[in-house]
Amino acid sequence: MSIFGAVDFDDHEQVHYFYDKETGLKCVIAIHNTKLGPALGGVRMWPYEDEQEAVTDVLRLSRGMTYKAAIAHLPLGGGKAVIIGDSHKDKTPELLKAFGRCVESIHGLYITAEDVGMSVEDMATIHDTTLFVVGLPGGSGDPSPFTAIGVYQSIRAAVYHRLQKRELKGIKIALQGLGHVGYALCELLWGSGAELIVTDIDRGLVEKAVNEFRAKAVAPDAIYEQDVDVYAPCALGATINEKTIPLFKCTVIAGSANNQLKTAKDGERLSKLNILYAPDYVVNAGGLIDVFYEGPNYNEQIVTRHVERIHDTLLDVFHKAEKLGIPTSEAADLIAEERFKTSKA
């Protein structure tokens, strides 16, 4: 299998394969770009069908981290690790420690963190064999409230840019997913006087939001067609696609979910319909910003101030898109690339 010839290979600096016979660990660590700083990105444990699927995932995810860090003004590069295996069956302390040794062997060029199939406790086990791990118990804690602040600021920026309104009072928002980020976002939006329409597959969370925020509840499939100003996807990826786009009545899309556009063409489709799309990796960088500040001098106010800058970053993205006549997703990529490709760091 060729790495250099892979569709998702994008000038990645390093791709490391590791195998540990004793624990059965098979993992790949990809470092996309370290021009702005060491490559930070989570480790994902997933029962990939085959090696190719794992490599495709790690190449894509590590590249995404470079863009997210650059646009969030963080002195970090992009990296990611994948462990091939079922986290429910194959994850053992020995395997995690073996993974930690792999990370340690790269001497800090890659810093690992929690991702799918991993927990905060697992990070503590990995810490036994490497210093290069963040998101430890007692560290910066759950990043979701900061991610929610970033989404809230993104909605404010997009509503200002598209509707020329500085307040969210009376703005109608359809929110998909009332999990860690979505529920915290509801609180912020409700506090600003926005009107909420919500959905989740967990009916308990929906009932809670209805009671607490006087939200209107709709079935999961009905969220796309709501007559609202903003659609905030905070559950799954790829919910913006050829099937949902014709249903949208919103004028703004801004939410925390990763990889919201199913394909790049969907970004073009939205801009043709004059729906303002706030690119996902700009909007949801609050969690990464929070983790970046982890350490003995951690200060919630400093993190909050940094996360709130997402508001102005998004305005820059919208202006660039208009100036060049390109989708906002492309404008965000250009701004990120200007930073990590031209940096002298």
Ligand X SMILES: NC(=O)c1ccc[n+]([C@@H]2O[C@H](COP(=O)([O-])OP(=O)(O)OC[C@H]3O[C@@H](n4cnc5c(N)ncnc54)[C@H](O)[C@@H]3O)[C@@H](O)[C@H]2O)c1
Question: Within positions 213 to 242, which residues make up the interface with ligand X, using CB under 6 A?
Answer: 220, 234-236
- The end-to-end CA distance of the chain, in Å, is 33
Q: Which of 276, 241, 281 is nearest to 261 (CA)?
A: 241
Q: How far is the CB of 164 from ligand X (least distance, A)?
A: 28
Residue with CB nearest ligand X? 179
Q: How far is the CB of 149 from ligand X (least distance, A)?
A: 10
Opening angle at CA 209, ends 204 and 214, nearest 5: 135
CB closer to ligand X, 181 vs 332? 181
CB closer to ligand X, 13 vs 207? 207
Question: Within positions 276 to 295, which residues make up the interface with ligand X, using CB under 6 A?
Answer: 284, 287
CB closer to ligand X, 59 vs 223? 223
User: Applying CB under 6 A, what is the total number of residues that bind ligand X?
Assistant: 24
Q: Is 80 a catalytic residue?
A: yes
Which of these is catalytic: 80, 216, 272, 344?
A: 80
32 touches 77 (CB < 8 A):
yes
CB closer to ligand X, 200 vs 333? 200
Q: How far is the CB of 172 from ligand X (least distance, A)?
A: 18
CB closer to ligand X, 180 vs 249? 180
Q: How far is the CB of 221 from ligand X (least distance, A)?
A: 8
Distance CA 226, CA 198 (A): 10
Give the one residue of 55, 61, 254, 257 binding ligand X; rule: CB under 6 A: 257
What count of residues does the chain have?
345
Tell whether residue 199 is a contact of ligand X (CB under 6 A).
yes
Binding mask 123-152 for ligand X (x = CB under 6 A): --------------------xx--x-----
Tell whether residue 175 is a contact of ligand X (CB under 6 A).
no
Tell whether residue 76 is a contact of ligand X (CB under 6 A).
no
Distance CA 92, CA 228 (A): 47
CB closer to ligand X, 129 vs 258? 258
In single-letter form, the type of residue at position 71 comes to I
Distance CA 280, CA 208 (A): 26
Q: Are β-strands 195-199 and 77-84 bridged in parallel, bridged antiparallel, or unpaired?
A: unpaired
Tell whether residue 180 is a contact of ligand X (CB under 6 A).
yes
Distance CA 38, CA 31 (A): 9
Q: How far is CA 21 from the centre of its chain?
A: 33
Beta-bridge mates of residue 277: 253
CB closer to ligand X, 10 vs 221? 221
Q: What number of H helices and E strands is found in the chain?
A: 12, 12
Opening angle at CA 228, ends 224 and 229, nearest 5: 115
Q: How far is the CB of 22 from ligand X (least distance, A)?
A: 33
Tell whether residue 59 is a contact of ligand X (CB under 6 A).
no
Give the one residue of 37, 100, 182, 279 binding ligand X; rule: CB under 6 A: 182
Give the one residue of 176, 244, 271, 329 binding ligand X; rule: CB under 6 A: 176
Helix (H, G, I), strand (E, B) or coil at 53: helix
| Those residues with Cβ within 8 angstroms of residue 331's Cβ, 6 or more apart along the chain or in another chain | 317, 318, 320, 321, 324
Q: How far is the CB of 234 from ligand X (least distance, A)?
A: 5
Q: What is the full DSSP assignment across 244-275?
A: TGGG---SEE--S-SS-BSSHHHHHHHHHTT-
> Using CB under 6 A as the criterion, which residues of the chain lie in contact with ligand X when the complex forms?
143-144, 147, 176-182, 199-202, 205, 220, 234-236, 256-258, 284, 287
Residues assigned a catalytic role: 80
